[in-house]
Structure 1
């Protein structure tokens, strides 16, 4: 049976909704957590030095919320979890009218159950550990108790990936390129007019205290750091090896925490703002993707020349066809879209694919790897993973055609990428497949958050407007 015969449009969403409706999920998780062998492994990780543990949950916006608990309560936390107000998952964001998004002050709490395999000691302070938690509706709630929270994007990505693997037989693996900007004493550079500071060893030396400390901490937390480079003023990119997409997403969250800690220690600022400066490259977070069946990467088939397989072309077509709708996730802020307006700065502005073409939305930079170039440094990697999985599955199921390299042809012909957050909101709403593929509770809340952000921007007077219009008349 072919993938096209086995996967039908909408199946992604049906499967995901069924998994999130499982009221026994909390009890199974708790039973696993309280297994004596699991408790013993966690206690071994903490040892005698750890005094405190952060219990963490990533939010819709890609931030991390947490509570700190003395380490001696570990066994109780494994069994019961820890309570948060449910709007913690929506970044505790209020609308312009003052209403909390995702529930008011009267909204119910959710329970975060630790996932023991993620328990790690922080290398910069061995008295503190941290662990990721999965968010559940409290078991005592009638009708919904015990379910995974649809607003837990980390859990959503993990569940979506398992369903994708079960239906297609393919595993998504990814490696990320998290560009970011460092500012502060000693970070300034000078170059000739028209010259980029990229790759210059002097600039790497300038950043040596930063990259040394980041790489050391990252290795201690399990990231296999492989390379890095200096790209533009204060812009550093450090990479770790690729892995399962859900594991890689966790590592990006970890990497961001590391960078903020290093900035504190060195008296610097570390920013993941997508486009901090006009005339300079923005901060992207390219997703390098591959699809694996067992030990075989189906994106390449052994040919020496740069190429992709037919299955990879269908996956690329799915990503490109849904790129307008997914843009709200890949470029999640008002500032994200300034990357596309600043020409000549290596940001894609058309839904094309190409063979080693940095202007394409999907670049085949080497055999076996599809570099999705639309996500930026502010991306929630769990949400980007969900929308990429849904898009890829649709491309495979319908055997979509991406056209020839560097031309938006085939099923991609006529598609245009949003150029503002407002346009992205409309494209998101208009993509019926993606809207059906992701739980309605999540899409509704996400649209409310982004619509409020766009309204705030539209109602804010900027310095550019003042400079243009203060003295324009008579």
Structure 2
């Protein structure tokens, strides 16, 4: 009997990428579009897109062998206050980024350039047992593993649609809308002021395969342009691409675009509501035509209970910045103030419309969608396994306190403490990714706590106590 060598994850990915018809199809698309350069990109823990660019003439070489990247990129090459690089020092071995051929796209604003999302593996030159393993800090691959495991255990698939809010600062419109005596929410005249922006965003999204749906304005300069829901893995990719589209439109129009969760105390925050549903095949298991009052099946109630049980711990992922927690204030308007749920109640952490979905309102515009979806899947599975009761919905505008679940953290520091205590939420990321994310965000919180802010100058800096 002959004992063969067990192929690594890197080996298996290379084998998939070298399948003849797939490579030939890619060559055809590249030739048809006139592509000259290709981005090989990955997403960091903070949601930034990093990678390398290569001439299209190197396609076969890079599809078969990948490109080499330093793992410190996954923590944005940040260093702590002692000067130590987080995650991986300069002496660490490079990792191999293998393109996901299904993610190939051509930039509509310059069809000479295309892109792939990549999966990350330990280099094949590492010691046996390590070489070729999936890199645990790869957030995109982690979501795929979490989602496929959930489907294998439950037979269910998570589908999601995201509502990303962005603030646009267009030259000549810096104060447009701020002087209006009434709200600019859904105001068509205000949308007209930003027509040059939304037309390009919609056009580029459609060119990249997004089924763009509807959009609106909220606060002055704030736009929300949505696309159709899909399998959660694809939705996460599309959020990252949508933010890239927004940055490109900003460059073309001379505008600035901001995903900052809360730009001003008296203005609406930039959220990224996650609208989620659970599917078995082509059936949405949250829907039962016989239900009228709660609009949720038993499965839906348990999924909702799981989400609410872990919302406080998930806040560190859903609100990943120091600024994120400025949304959860009395000035937040449509942002959640408590861990609760309601029937079509926009003040709640989870809103349940009457159409078979849950709208989770905690995430903001700077969320990493691969992490947020992984955490949601883990929370939902825990709710299903424990048949968690979400309790009664909060009445519209009742203002009743909701003490059933752990309250929302008030700062990133509190959120990180809650995150560390919750095995379900941390388990969605795994030990290594959890450690990296916690170190990265703890360093961010510490730097903020040591920084002198404008508020302190205004409060204490004018000559006395």
Q: TM-score, normalised by structure 1?
A: 0.92
Q: Which residue of 1 aligns with 2:183?
A: 196
The CA deviation at 1:103 is 1.2
Q: Which residue of 1 aligns with 2:209?
A: 222
The CA deviation at 1:341 is 2.1
Q: Which residue of 2 aligns with 1:434?
A: 425
What does residue range 52-451 of structure 1 map to in structure 2 within 5 Å?
A: 52-142=37-127, 143-187=129-173, 188-190=175-177, 195-302=182-289, 303-304=291-292, 307-406=295-394, 413-451=404-442
The CA deviation at 1:381 is 0.1
The CA deviation at 1:192 is 5.7
Q: Assess if the C-alpha contact under 8 Å between 1:306 and 1:367 holds in 2.
A: no
The CA deviation at 1:194 is 6.2
Cα distance in 1 for partners of 2:452, 2:83 equals 20
The CA deviation at 1:193 is 6.9
Partner of 1:400, secondary structure, is coil
More off after superposition, 299-308 vs 242-251:
299-308
Cα distance in 1 for partners of 2:7, 2:334 equals 47
Q: Which residue of 2 aligns with 1:457?
A: 448
Q: Assess if the C-alpha contact under 8 Å between 2:309 and 2:405 holds in 1.
A: no
Cα distance in 2 for partners of 1:221, 1:269 equals 22
Over residues 219-276 of structure 1, what are the superposed CA-to-partner deviations in whole Å (9 max), with x where a residue is unaligned? 0001100000011011000000000000000000110000000000000001111111
Q: Assess if the C-alpha contact under 8 Å between 1:45 and 1:119 holds in 2.
A: no
- 1:33 correspondence with 2:21: no
Cα distance in 2 for partners of 1:401, 1:287 equals 21
Q: Describe the shift of the 1:82–1:344 C-alpha distance in structure 2 as closer, same or farther (beyond 3 A).
A: closer
The CA deviation at 1:68 is 0.5
The CA deviation at 1:437 is 4.0
Q: Assess if the C-alpha contact under 8 Å between 1:157 and 1:382 holds in 2.
A: yes
Q: Which residue of 1 aligns with 2:3?
A: none
Q: Assess if the C-alpha contact under 8 Å between 2:319 and 2:362 holds in 1.
A: yes
Q: Assess if the C-alpha contact under 8 Å between 2:177 and 2:190 holds in 1.
A: no
Over residues 296-354 of structure 1, what are the superposed CA-to-partner deviations in whole Å (9 max), with x where a residue is unaligned? 10111013555111111110111111111110000000000000124252110211111
Partner of 1:232, secondary structure, is coil
The CA deviation at 1:184 is 2.5
What does residue range 44-59 of structure 1 map to in structure 2 within 5 Å?
A: 44-47=28-31, 49-59=34-44
Cα distance in 1 for partners of 2:75, 2:366 equals 15
Q: TM-score, normalised by structure 2?
A: 0.94
Cα distance in 1 for partners of 2:332, 2:262 equals 14
Cα distance in 2 for partners of 1:398, 1:23 equals 37
Q: Describe the shift of the 1:270–1:192 C-alpha distance in structure 2 as closer, same or farther (beyond 3 A).
A: closer
Determine which structure has greater relative contact order: mean sequence separation of CA pairs < 8 Å that are 6+ residues apart, divided by chain length. 1
Q: Describe the shift of the 1:179–1:153 C-alpha distance in structure 2 as closer, same or farther (beyond 3 A).
A: same
How many residue pairs match? The answer is 452
Q: Assess if the C-alpha contact under 8 Å between 1:317 and 1:412 holds in 2.
A: no
The CA deviation at 1:108 is 1.2
Q: Assess if the C-alpha contact under 8 Å between 1:186 and 1:206 holds in 2.
A: no
Partner of 2:424, secondary structure, is helix
Q: Which runs of 5+ in 1 are unaligned?
A: 1-21
Q: Which runs of 5+ in 2 are unaligned?
A: 1-5
The CA deviation at 1:140 is 2.3
Q: Assess if the C-alpha contact under 8 Å between 1:285 and 1:377 holds in 2.
A: yes
**What CA RMSD, in Å, does the superposition of the two structures yield over aligned residues?**
1.8
Q: Assess if the C-alpha contact under 8 Å between 1:23 and 1:147 holds in 2.
A: no
Q: Which residue of 2 aligns with 1:9?
A: none
Q: Describe the shift of the 1:360–1:73 C-alpha distance in structure 2 as closer, same or farther (beyond 3 A).
A: same
